[in-house]
Amino acid sequence: MKNSKAELIVDVAQRLFAKYGFKKTTIDEIAHSAHIAKGSIYYYFGSKEDIFRAVLDKENRLWSQKVREVINRASTPQEKLRAYLVTRTKYLSKLTNFYSALREEYLEHYAFIENIRKRYFREEIEIVKAILEEGVKKGIFKVEELGLMAFVIVAALKGLEYPWTMEIPMPDIEKSIDFLLKMSFNGLLKK
């Protein structure tokens, strides 16, 4: 038995949320699509928000796994940082629900979505922090305040996401990242 009922619900909900968004997807639809009664859903989940959280968690686990995998495969801290930046950005747009929930759907700003957003923001900072830490330990990076540095990097990344929301013609994302990295490593100043 590879799929428990709870997983089935999450899978179905994932598809529907992706298509219609959180608000427009109804529990009845989910139940119907999953060929179970509505009551069954509430046997496994406490609320609609709970289901959504489960979907987001699933997508985030996938993203997190992929990102960590790519980071581990890279050998130097520089490569790790680059691998992280490129992968996280490319992969993020594939996580339909995660992405739209944290960007578009926040028009409605549900409190629970805000919380999820914060949690993942912190998670990203932790990932970057770990990379920087390794770099410092290996004597490759020179960073005084790890936490702040990680914060600034992640915040800057968010900034790179922003323009394409605004439909400003944006230079190719990967090029921008490579550029940001090159500058980060070597600095602006002429040697």
The residues binding DNA (CB under 7 A) are 5, 25-28, 36-40, 42-43, 46-49
Q: Do the beta carbons of residue 51 and residue 8 sit within 8 Å?
A: no
Q: Do the beta carbons of residue 138 and residue 122 sit within 8 Å?
A: no
Beta carbon of residue 46, minimum distance to DNA (angstroms, whole number): 7
The smaller minimum CB distance to DNA, of residues 14 and 25, is found at 25
- Residue 92 touches a second copy, criterion: CB under 8 A: no
- Residue 22 touches a second copy, criterion: CB under 8 A: no
Report DSSP state, residue 12.
H
- Residue 37 touches a second copy, criterion: CB under 8 A: no
The smaller minimum CB distance to a second copy, of residues 43 and 159, is found at 159
Single out the residue of 114, 126, 137, 174 in contact with a second copy (rule: CB under 8 A): 114
Report DSSP state, residue 108.
G
Amino acid identity of residue 57, one-letter, is D
Beta carbon of residue 19, minimum distance to DNA (angstroms, whole number): 14
Beta carbon of residue 83, minimum distance to a second copy (angstroms, whole number): 16
3-class secondary-structure state, position 94 = coil
The smaller minimum CB distance to DNA, of residues 16 and 150, is found at 16
CA dist 62 and 161 (Å) reads 20
- Residue 157 touches a second copy, criterion: CB under 8 A: yes
Residue the block writes with tokens 């520089």: 78
Single out the residue of 39, 46, 75, 189 in contact with a second copy (rule: CB under 8 A): 189
Task: Report in angstroms the alpha-carbon separations of 171 from 20, 92, 109, 176, 187.
Answer: 30, 18, 30, 7, 21
Beta carbon of residue 124, minimum distance to a second copy (angstroms, whole number): 12
Query: x/- contact string, 169-188, with a second copy (CB under 8 A)?
Result: -xx---xx--xx--xxxxxx
| Residue 161: closest CA among 65, 110, 85, 101 | 85
CA dist 14 and 58 (Å) reads 9
Taking CB within 5 to 8 Å according to partner kind, which of a second copy, DNA, none is near residue 160?
A: a second copy
Q: Which two tokens stand for residue 39?
A: 């009551």
Single out the residue of 18, 91, 149, 174 in contact with a second copy (rule: CB under 8 A): 149
